[in-house]
Amino acid sequence: MLILGIESSCDETAAAVLADGERLLADVIDSQVAVHARFGGVVPELASRRHLEAIQPVVAEALAQAGVTLADLDGIAVTQGPGLIGSLLVGLSFAKALSFARRIPYVGVDHMNGHLLSVFLDGARPAFPFVALVASGGHSSLFHVTSPLAYRLLGRSRDDAAGEAFDKVAKLLGLAYPGGPAIGRRAETGDPAAFAFPRAWLEPDSLDFSFSGLKTAVANQVHHCQRQGEEAAVADICASFQEAVVEVLVEKGLRAARQTDCPRLVLAGGVAANRRLRAFLQARGAVEGVEIFMPPPRFCTDNGAMVAMAGFHRFQAGHGGHDYGMDVYSRAVF
């Protein structure tokens, strides 16, 4: 079964071609980092306009790389939500147009379902069930996953997501966008114990996340340095901030594994590309006896391959067709 996956939920226009849920034939991403860097974050209107410009060339390039044509496709999978409404509409409208013009069935995919299945694109694959920690710019969530299409929410962010906190702290420190990679680079030369930034553990058994207080603590530290006429120790602040985020993500993920009696934990989402997080989770997993699975960094950020994978399983389960009344949604439906 040959699936074209289309992703446009935020600031990356992506398309991929997946064969039989196993072989990735093409994976193309048009990044908008240069468009949004001057603003320190994604500007929704600019994101939508860039998707309009990029989607046809990106899909065409994916088909060319895979050596296939639209006539060869068995289905089209497209991100339906959650995400930015304008951006999502570009991808869904394009998928509908292809489906209508060439009579190719299509299926809407939940963005989070794509992240949950990104670990199956390359490398070691976990058996079901497993616990999944999805950390990105828009989400910090924990799931109990029992099959490719069955997953139950265990915990979520109550305010800022981890990736959002990285972006906001980076902007506060005058670092480049996106904030995650910028902070990660500066943290390599900093002391993670230089500042005692807070960890929001919430209630004793809680699997929810909260990073707004941590962001405020960093802001207060920067303002304190400014009042004292001191230069902020950016590397130390980055290392201490990153350590606080990583520690909470890892400990909550392992707590979820214990609560569900599940010895397998998957890390996914854009923040999953963070090297400190990956190393810390592997080390703590070994101590706890929990097997850790992580997609390669290139499949952690938004991509069409994960959408194609989720779409493949939805087609296999009997979903999809030619329902052109399908709409997008901005917020998670679970």
Question: Which DSSP string do the residues of 162-224 spell out, in sequence order?
Answer: HHHHHHHHHHHTTPPSSHHHHHHHHHTTS-TTSS-------STT---B--HHHHHHHHHHHHH
DSSP for 251-265, written as a single string: HHHHHHHHHTT--EE
Statement: residue 334 has pLDDT above 70: no
Tokens of 12: 């990356």
Contact 36, 11 (CB under 8 A): yes
Tokens of 214: 């941590």
What span, in angstroms and rounded, lies between the C-alpha atoms of 182 and 238? 9
CA 257 – CA 116 distance, rounded (Å): 15
Complete domains list, the chain, with CATH: 2-116+300-316 (3.30.420.40), 126-294 (3.30.420.40)
In eight-state DSSP terms, residue 17 is: E
136 DSSP 8-state letter: S
What integer is the mean pLDDT of 301-306? 97
pLDDT reported for residue 138: 84
pLDDT, tens digit, 9 for 90 and up, residues 108-145: 999 999 999 999 999 889 999 999 999 998 889 999 99
Residues 6+ apart with CB under 8 A from 150: none
Task: Tell whether pTM > 0.85.
Answer: yes
Query: Is residue 276 within 8 Å of 184, Cβ to Cβ?
Result: yes
Q: What is the pLDDT of residues 233-282, one digit of tens each?
A: 999 999 999 999 999 999 999 999 999 999 999 999 999 999 999 999 99
User: How many other C-beta atoms can be found within 10 angstroms of the C-beta atom of residue 55?
Assistant: 21
Residue 18's DSSP bridge partners are 3, 24
Structure tokens at 130: 């497993």
Angle in degrees, CA 144, 146, 151, rounded to 5: 50
Instruction: Decide which of 311 and 226 is more confident.
Output: 311
Q: What are the tokens at 138?
A: 């828009």
